[in-house]
Amino acid sequence: MQVGFDCEEAVWLRSALLEIAATLYSDRRPVMVRQWIDPVRLHDPEPVGHRFLFLVAVGGDDRPASPDIDDVVDAFRAAGWEAHEPRYGREPGTGWAEARREDFKTSIDAGAGPGVLTFTGWTPVVFTTGRQLRQPQHTLSTVYGVLCRECHGWGACLDCDGTGRGTEPGSYGRCWCHGGQGGPGACIECGLSGQITESSPWHLLKSYGFADADAPDADADGPDAFRMPPIEKAHGSNIDALTDVAHRTCACGEFRSRWSNQLREADDHLVSLFTGRCRGCAKQRAYAFMLPHRKLPPPPPPPSPPPCPRCAQVPVPLVRGLHFPGSATMRALELGLVEASDRGCEVRPDDPNWRCPACGHAWQDADERRRARILRSILADLPAS
Ligand SMILES: [Zn+2]
Ligand SMILES: [Zn+2]
Ligand SMILES: [Zn+2]
Ligand SMILES: [Zn+2]
């Protein structure tokens, strides 16, 4: 059986993504940047099924004025998808969320500055062999790092189909995968996850080619020591630049990557930087483009904090999870613009999220998005030290 982009799942997802994207801008059409297929295999190289993927870009050069990643999450919910609240990145403007509807999923990515806002949507795996298989944990384009080479993303032991049962003489009815950390039936290399990510054990990172793993102790080569790629002059808009990048291949031959975008103002032009990890060889890829100068929109003004319910003074947001605070958070703490939550990393549903410096009262305000927006604007706008 042949499957193509005219199959029911692909047609539905493609139009669902374009419709949601169209609700975000009234004056501009969303752009289908690329559509592609992830083949899915078991032991044999011959695929047993496929997944269809679509990369849609919205807006491009005028975020974060509108729409914000929060608006995108709301648009997916309004269209009947389940979506968790966005997570915000360290760079102002960056964020990520995932929406799901049955076995369809979409990753929503917002770039830094007014960088591009993209949706990458994927269908469930459509099987072509007639054999009914469950859905794999991951395929090539859905991983956060690279696909596990042993199980090709299934997360299960392919020798026993995840049952843990062995049929070889002398196996006593147990597959060899019983000895693995993930338990019987689980892939020994990746546990159950189907992927190798930056948080996988060091020996795996090294053998999969994660370059950062070569020098785990070399401070000089930390994430800040990023080398800017040569700036190319080729594009009229950031979406054109993204379309170009999405069609380039890594030296290893793979094109799949999860791209982050940063758009910055330089002297008389804009610089758009794309970075991503190759899903084939795990190497970092980066491209930079000079775009025609436009005045970037200022970020929208943050909302006002909720007044203290006891004394009506202006409170400060509480921040949690401070095992590894970023440098901006550290500075905001020093300046008293934010305070550390007493609970540290432990998160409970009724945790206070604001504290009043005037009277000391701490309380929980239900509007978590307002707090997140205010916090982001504090961190983005710190006075120079
Ligand atoms: Zn097994
Ligand atoms: Zn595996
Ligand atoms: Zn590569
Ligand atoms: Zn107060």
For ligand 1, the distance from its centroid to the CA atom of residue 215, given in whole angstroms, is 34
For ligand 4, the distance from its centroid to the CA atom of residue 326, given in whole angstroms, is 28
Do 16 and 122 fall into the same domain? yes
* Boundary (domain end) residue, out of 152, 173, 203: 203
Do 244 and 351 fall into the same domain? no
In a domain, 309, yes or no: no
User: By the 8 A CB rule, do 305 and 293 touch?
Assistant: no
pLDDT at 102: 94
Nearest bound ligand to CA 251? 3
pLDDT at 221: 45
For ligand 4, the distance from its centroid to the CA atom of residue 73, given in whole angstroms, is 33
User: By the 8 A CB rule, do 24 and 149 touch?
Assistant: no
Q: Helices 327-334 & 368-380, crossing angle to 10 degrees?
A: 90
Do 21 and 144 fall into the same domain? yes
Instruction: Please tell me the distance from the alpha carbon of residue 86 to that of residue 380, in angstroms, as a whole number.
Output: 18
Q: Which two tokens stand for residue 331?
A: 């500075």
pLDDT at 219: 42
**Residue 87 β-bridge partners:** 96
For ligand 1, the distance from its centroid to the CA atom of residue 161, given in whole angstroms, is 7
Do 116 and 186 fall into the same domain? yes
Nearest bound ligand to CA 316? 4
Going by C-alpha positions, the residue among 363, 376, 377 that lies closest to residue 306 is: 363
Do 225 and 341 fall into the same domain? no
Nearest bound ligand to CA 249? 3
Q: Classify residue 269 as left (phi > 0), alpha (psi -120 to 50) or beta.
A: beta
pLDDT at 25: 76
User: By the 8 A CB rule, do 105 and 99 touch?
Assistant: yes
**Residue 187 β-bridge partners:** 191
Q: Which two tokens stand for residue 153?
A: 């993303």
pLDDT at 216: 44
Alpha-helix runs per DSSP H in the chain: 8-24, 69-78, 202-208, 238-246, 327-334, 368-380
Instruction: Please tell me the distance from the alpha carbon of residue 145 to that of residue 209, in angstroms, as a whole number.
Output: 11
* Boundary (domain end) residue, out of 155, 174, 203: 203
In a domain, 51, yes or no: yes
User: By the 8 A CB rule, do 189 and 208 touch?
Assistant: no
Do 142 and 283 fall into the same domain? no
Nearest bound ligand to CA 197? 2
Question: What DSSP assignment string belongs to 169-203?
Answer: TTSTTB-GGGGSTT-TTBBTTTBTSSEE-TTS-HH
In a domain, 141, yes or no: yes
3-class SS of residue 322: coil
User: By the 8 A CB rule, do 145 and 195 touch?
Assistant: yes
Q: Helices 8-24 & 69-78, crossing angle to 10 degrees?
A: 130
Do 34 and 179 fall into the same domain? yes
Do 115 and 180 fall into the same domain? yes
In a domain, 162, yes or no: yes
For ligand 1, the distance from its centroid to the CA atom of residue 188, given in whole angstroms, is 9
For ligand 4, the distance from its centroid to the CA atom of residue 355, given in whole angstroms, is 8
Nearest bound ligand to CA 208? 3
For ligand 3, the distance from its centroid to the CA atom of residue 24, given in whole angstroms, is 34
In a domain, 303, yes or no: no
pLDDT at 217: 43
For ligand 3, the distance from its centroid to the CA atom of residue 280, given in whole angstroms, is 5
Do 109 and 255 fall into the same domain? no
The domain total for the chain is: 3
In a domain, 100, yes or no: yes
3-class SS of residue 58: strand
Do 165 and 91 fall into the same domain? yes
> Cα 195–321–319 angle (5° rounding)?
135
Mean pLDDT by 10 residues, the chain (385 residues): 82 96 81 96 93 88 63 93 84 82 94 81 92 91 95 94 84 85 90 93 92 50 63 87 95 95 84 93 94 76 91 92 73 89 69 92 90 84 75
Nearest bound ligand to CA 311? 4
In a domain, 264, yes or no: yes
Distances from the Cα of 88 to the Cα of 69, 128, 330, 376, angstroms = 9, 39, 17, 8
In a domain, 79, yes or no: yes
Going by C-alpha positions, the residue among 103, 177, 166, 101 that lies closest to residue 134 is: 103
Nearest bound ligand to CA 194? 2
pLDDT at 207: 94
pLDDT at 372: 84
- Give the residue numbers spanning the domain of 236: 221-292
Going by C-alpha positions, the residue among 173, 193, 130 that lies closest to residue 3 is: 130
* Boundary (domain end) residue, out of 142, 177, 203: 203
Question: What DSSP assignment string belongs to 125-138?
Answer: PEE-SS---PPPS-
Do 116 and 246 fall into the same domain? no
Within 8 A by CB and 6+ apart from 244, the residues are 234, 235, 287, 289
User: By the 8 A CB rule, do 189 and 181 touch?
Assistant: no
Do 162 and 280 fall into the same domain? no
pLDDT at 225: 46
